[in-house]
Amino acid sequence: MSAAKQALVVFSPSGKRGRFAFGTPVLQAARELGVDIDSVCGGRARCGRCQVEAVAGSFAKEGIISSPRHLSDMGEDELVCLQGGRLKAGNRLSCQAKILGDVRIDVPASSQVHRQVVRKDFEAHPVKLDPVIHLYFTQLTEPGLQSPQDDLQRLMQALDRDWGLSGLDWDLSVLKPLRSAIRGSQWQVTVAVRDGTRIVAIWPGLRDHIYGAAVDVGSTTIAVHLCDLASGEVLASAGSMNPQIRFGEDLMSRVSYAMLNPEGAGQMTRLVRAAINELVLQVADQAGVEPGEVLEVTLVGNPVMHHLLLGLDPAPLGSAPFSLATDHAIELPATELGLRLAAGTRAYLLPCIAGHVGADTAAVMLAETPWESDRINLIIDVGTNAEIVLGNGARLLAASSPTGPAFEGAQISAGQRAAPGAIERVRIDPATLEPRFKVVGGSRWSDEPGFADELGKQGVTGICGSGIIEAIACMYLAGIIRPDGVIDGTLADSSPRIESSGRTFSYLLHQGGPGEGQPGIHIRQSDVRAIQLAKAALHAGTQLLMDRLGVDKVDRIRLAGAFGSHIDVKYAMVLGMLPDCDLAQVSSADNAAGTGARIALLNKASRREIEQRVRQVEKVETAVDKDFQRHFVAAMHIPHATHAYPVLSKVVRLPGAGAGAGAATENRHRRRRSRTKLQKG
Ligand code: FES
């Protein structure tokens, strides 16, 4: 071919360019240059995945004048695609458009196989879309007396010819549909191939979408996200309570149940699997997808959830040395987990890290990538156990701390889950000791007009985790609670909200009353103690990791989980749950475990990455560490017995900073006035 019959083709955004003979299909040019353009149908103008746009204009850098007219006219197949809505107006199918002159070709993100999927729900890094399963459309040769090969052989030949796929594995369950699929579709089929090595599904004709589910098995809730593996989009999400909760709210209760009841572990395994099946059906239904089209599932959970899901005995996780059955990532047919999905569907469980630090923490790490930073990152996933990761690109440490369920509102006298009617925000006037609060489902503060009307009949039903943390932090800031956590009974003289309950005192946060038909909501001494124990466990675990890392401060704190997204970090820090840190550097990582499960679903390389990273994590076992108890005792104080919290003190006046005699007197007067008002009310 002479040089005069060649054209310069420049692809954007990659910048790759090359000279090609007139008549070369754009897709072929792209392939030769290594430009990433998607295709399921193999250039048959069927899938619409290979769309590009020819840009008009003069480009000095490349020295070309580009025009859409430098591509061949649309042929019949392309026009059919355009009329059928599979080709966007102005775009061309790169498998059909031929090069007839210099041209700049823009490859939109939607046509790139390995495109970046920006996670809308999460601030961190976009995910590079590269799922473990890809679709391949192919045309088999018809069998005849002269070509007597079997169906499978002809399928393998077609896949090798069209896609260069050879030596593929298969099993009987996916082979069964092959015979009817090819005969019902003029010998055209779409094949789903996993990891370039195994056929996992076969459909007649063209199929251009497949789906995957990311499952986060928490001890309290289970969440399932259905993703389109072609676009990375989350199509539907659903969640439910973990039905195992009836055997105990916290992990150790479930381990005990499994130890004390011969059928206990099996019962819990069946329940969690049934719940996942139910949720997958729900999300598939919401998205209008057949459950049989869900071909890949990733699952994360803490070690006890992980073992129960797999049907492994969780008992050794109940006592030192807290041995895992395996800390490796596990890949297996989804049917082995009792999931009612397609026969070829595989499940991937992220690796666990240590006896109490599970695949959920591995997923949080995958979402947060602390190894990409030089700064000291502290990542905390608060559930019935707090899982803690500390470090940076140089070193990462992980531990778990037994916080118990108090942060979720359990073990609190008026505690409840964060559901409509639960107090979730609290403020207390330090002068009058009068509270105001907001409840889940309401938009008004309790001292604003219309608050009661907005709540309706339901009224105020209890207090949830974020509410109890704010309530106790505000009680401390108002001087109602002393640094040792004791509710100061001497204030009962000046505020009717401080009530005697035998040898201890309580604080009346909400009066309830006959109108509401509900009892008042008190913060009792036992509630303060439950929160102190939980926060001391969390702080001590964090401190232990900081000691091991040799740091006395952290640069950034990320709080994962539903709890992390609800609490006001300022009040969590006032309580001493977290180490002193610039509040601007403390943020919610939202549902990082679920996000990590989705990343593993959408990007196969991320699986190898997290498998490698968890091997490098230094595990610290808090339960048997001799320093844990010492840190725990110091952390029982609010905010802490020995840490002064200088950074927090710049934005919050902590008790002891001195309010002045005049202010104290005025406060006493105001309390008296509010006492009179409350009694009258
Ligand atoms: S590759 Fe399928 S339409 Fe072009």
Quick one: which of 6, 29, 27 has its CA closest to 100? 6
The alpha carbon of 50 and the centre of ligand 1 are apart by a number of angstroms equal to: 5
Residue 114's pLDDT band, with cuts at 50, 70 and 90, is: confident
Confidence of residue 454 (pLDDT cuts 50, 70, 90): confident
Residue 95 alpha carbon, nearest atom of ligand 1 = 4
Residue 20 in tokens? 């090609």
pLDDT band at 670 (very low <50, low <70, confident <90, very high): low
User: Are 250 and 305 within 8 A, CB to CB?
Assistant: no
CA of 89 relative to ligand 1 center, distance in Å = 16
- The pTM score is 0.82
Question: Which residues fall within 8 angstroms of residue 2, CB to CB, at 6 or more apart?
Answer: none
Architecture of domain 3-111: Roll (3.10)
Ligand 1 and 49: CB distance under 6 A: yes
- The protein residue with its alpha carbon nearest to ligand 1, atom 1, reads 43
**Cα 486 → chain centroid:** 38
Mutate to test the pocket of ligand 1, among 37, 93, 139 (most ligand atoms within 8 A of CB): 93
How many angstroms is it from 74 CA to the middle of ligand 1? 14
The predicted pLDDT at position 662 comes to 42
Residues 6+ apart with CB under 8 A from 322: 316, 354, 355, 356, 621, 623
Q: Which residues pair with 25 in a beta bridge?
A: 98
The 3-class secondary structure across 548-560, one letter per residue, is HHCCCCCCEEEEE
Distance 25 CA to ligand 1 centre (A): 11
pLDDT for position 672: 53
What spacing in Å lies between the alpha carbon of 45 and ligand 1's midpoint? 4
Task: Compute, in angstroms, the gap from residue 27 CA to the centroid of ligand 1.
Answer: 9
Say if residue 660's pLDDT is above 60.
no
CA 96 to ligand 1 center in whole angstroms: 8
Look at residue 104 and tell me whether its pLDDT is greater than 60.
yes
Instruction: Please compute the mean of the pLDDT values over residues 172-182 and round it to a whole number.
Output: 84
Q: How many other C-beta atoms can be found within 10 angstroms of the C-beta atom of residue 101?
A: 16
127-204, CATH topology level: Ubiquitin-like (UB roll) (3.10.20)
CB atoms near residue 130 (< 10 Å): 15
Give the pair of three-digit tokens for residue 676: 């009179």
Query: Cβ(349) to ligand 1 under 6 A?
Result: no
Per-residue pLDDT band for 110 (boundaries 50, 70, 90) equals confident
499's enclosing H/E stretch is strand 498-501
Residue 536 has pLDDT above 60, yes or no: yes
Judge if the beta carbon of residue 37 lies within 6 A of ligand 1: no
Helix axes 525-549, 465-477, angle to 10 degrees: 90
d(CA 416, CA 458): 14
- Show Cβ contacts of residue 41 under 8 Å, excluding neighbours closer than 6 positions: 47, 49, 95, 137, 206, 208
Q: What is the position in ligand 1's atom list of the atom closest to the CA of 96?
A: 4
E runs forming strands in 114-182: 116-117, 127-128, 133-139
- Please, what's the largest Cα pairwise distance for the chain? 106
Phi/psi at 174 (5° precision): -90, -15
| 92 C-alpha to ligand 1 centroid (Å) | 10
pLDDT for the residue numbered 1: 42
Rounded distance from Cα 44 to ligand 1 centre (Å): 6
What value does the mean pLDDT of the chain take? Answer: 89
Question: Per mean pLDDT, which range of 219-233, 542-556, 655-669 is the poorest?
Answer: 655-669
CATH superfamily, with its number, for domain 211-349: Domain of unknown function (DUF4445) (3.30.420.480)
Q: Which two tokens stand for residue 619?
A: 């595990």
Residue 394, classified by CB atoms within 10 Å of its CB into exposed (0-12), middle (13-18) or buried (19+), is: exposed
The reply to whether ligand 1 has any atom less than 6 angstroms from the CB of 93 is: yes
Q: How far apart are CA 560 and CA 540, in angstroms?
A: 18
Whether 47 is in the pocket of ligand 1, judged by its Cβ within 6 Å, is yes
- In angstroms, what is the C-alpha Rg of the chain? 31
Residue 681 CB neighbours (<10 A)? 7
Question: Are the C-beta atoms of residues 59 and 10 closer than 8 Å to each other?
Answer: yes
What backbone phi and psi angles, to 5 degrees, belong to 162? -85, -30
Classify burial at 226, counting beta carbons within 10 Å of its beta carbon; exposed 0-12, middle 13-18, buried 19 or more. buried
The ligand 1 atom at the shortest distance from the C-alpha of residue 42 is 1
Closest atom of ligand 1 relative to the 38 alpha carbon? 1
How many angstroms separate the alpha carbon of residue 86 from the centre of ligand 1? 10
Q: Which atom of ligand 1 is nearest to the CA of 86?
A: 3
The CA 137 to ligand 1 mean position distance, Å, reads: 10
Note the pLDDT tens digit of each residue in 5-28: 899 999 988 888 999 999 999 999
Structure confidence at residue 675 as a pLDDT band (50, 70, 90) = low
Percent pLDDT > 70 in the chain is 93
The CB of 97 under 6 Å from ligand 1? The reply is no
**Ligand 1 centroid to 157 CA: how many Å?**
20
Q: 477 has which bridge partners?
A: none
Q: Which residue has the tokens 């098995």?
A: 217
C-beta 50 within 6 A of ligand 1: yes
CA distances from 284 to 129, 207, 292, 341, 446 (A): 21, 17, 9, 11, 41
CA-to-CA dists, residue 446 to 420, 495, 659, angstroms: 15, 19, 27
- Test site for ligand 1: of 28, 47, 72, most ligand atoms within 8 A of the Cβ: 47
**What is the edge-to-edge ordering of all strands in the sheet holding 462-463?**
435-439, 422-428, 462-463
Q: Is the pLDDT of residue 119 over 80?
A: no
Determine the 3-state secondary structure of 414 from DSSP. Answer: coil
Side chain identity, residue 23: G
Question: What is the residue-wise DSSP string for 49-104?
Answer: TTEEEEEPEEETTTTEEE-GGGBPPP-HHHHHHHHTTSS-TT-EETTT-BB-S-EE
Distance 197 CA to ligand 1 centre (A): 23
Domains of the chain by residue range? 3-111, 127-204, 211-349, 407-530+660-680
Question: What is the pLDDT averaged over residues 409-431?
Answer: 88
pLDDT of amino acid 516: 54
CB contact at 8 A, 383 and 602: no
Across the range 392-418, mean pLDDT stands at 87
Does residue 190 line the site of ligand 1, with CB under 6 A?
A: no
CB distance 30 to ligand 1 below 6 Å = no
Q: What are the beta bridge partners of residue 400? A: 387
Pocket test for ligand 1, best of 35, 41, 134, 136 (most atoms within 8 A of CB): 41
Q: Is the CB of 92 under 6 A from ligand 1?
A: no
Q: Is 48 in the pocket of ligand 1 (CB under 6 A)?
A: yes
DSSP states of 216-282 as a string? EE-SSEEEEEEEETTT--EEEEEEEE-GGGGG-SSHHHHHHHHHH-TTHHHHHHHHHHHHHHHHHHH
Please give the structure tokens belonging to residue 636: 């029982």
User: Of ligand 1's atoms, which has the minimum distance to the CA of residue 94?
Assistant: 4
Q: Do domains 127-204 and 211-349 have the same CATH topology?
A: no
* Tens digit of each residue's pLDDT (9 = 90 or more) over 288-312: 999 989 999 999 999 999 999 999 9
Say what the pLDDT of residue 123 is. Answer: 41
Phi-psi region of 192 (alpha: psi -120 to 50; beta: other; left: phi over 0): beta
Distance separating alpha carbons of residues 625 and 11, to the nearest angstrom: 58
Which residue has a Cα nearest atom 3 of ligand 1?
A: 45
Say if CB 461 and CB 422 are below 8 A apart. yes
Pocket lining: 17 vs ligand 1, CB cutoff 6 Å: no
* CB of residue 95 inside a 6 A radius of ligand 1: yes
Reduced to 3 states (helix: H, G, I; strand: E, B; else coil), residue 104 is strand
The CA-CA-CA angle for residues 261, 330, 268, to 5°, reads 20
Measured CA to CA, the distance from residue 624 to residue 379 in angstroms comes to: 22
pLDDT at 496 over 60: yes
- DSSP structure class, residue 115: -
| Atom nearest to 81 CA in ligand 1 | 3
Which pLDDT score is estimated for 231?
87
Q: How far is the CA of 81 from the centre of ligand 1 (A)?
A: 10
Ligand 1 mean position, distance from CA 46 (Å): 6
Pairwise CA distance, residues 621 & 323, whole Å: 11
Tell which wins on pLDDT, 636 or 420. 636
CA 22 to ligand 1 centroid distance, Å: 20
Give the SS3 label for residue 603: strand
Return d(Cα 136, Cα 113) in angstroms, integer.
13
CA of 167 to the centre of ligand 1 (A): 25
Q: Return the best residue to mutate from 38, 39, 80, 92 for the ligand 1 pocket (most ligand atoms within 8 A of CB).
A: 39
- The answer to whether 597 touches 214, Cβ cutoff 8 Å, is yes
* 3-state secondary structure at position 258: helix
Measured from the Cβ of residue 143, the count of other Cβ atoms closer than 10 Å reads: 16
Residues paired with residue 391 on neighbouring β-strands, in sequence order: 377, 396
Query: Among 182, 86, 180, 199, which residue's Cα sits nearest to residue 139?
Result: 182
Q: Percentage of residues in the chain with pLDDT exceeding 90?
A: 65
88 Cα–ligand 1 center, Å: 13
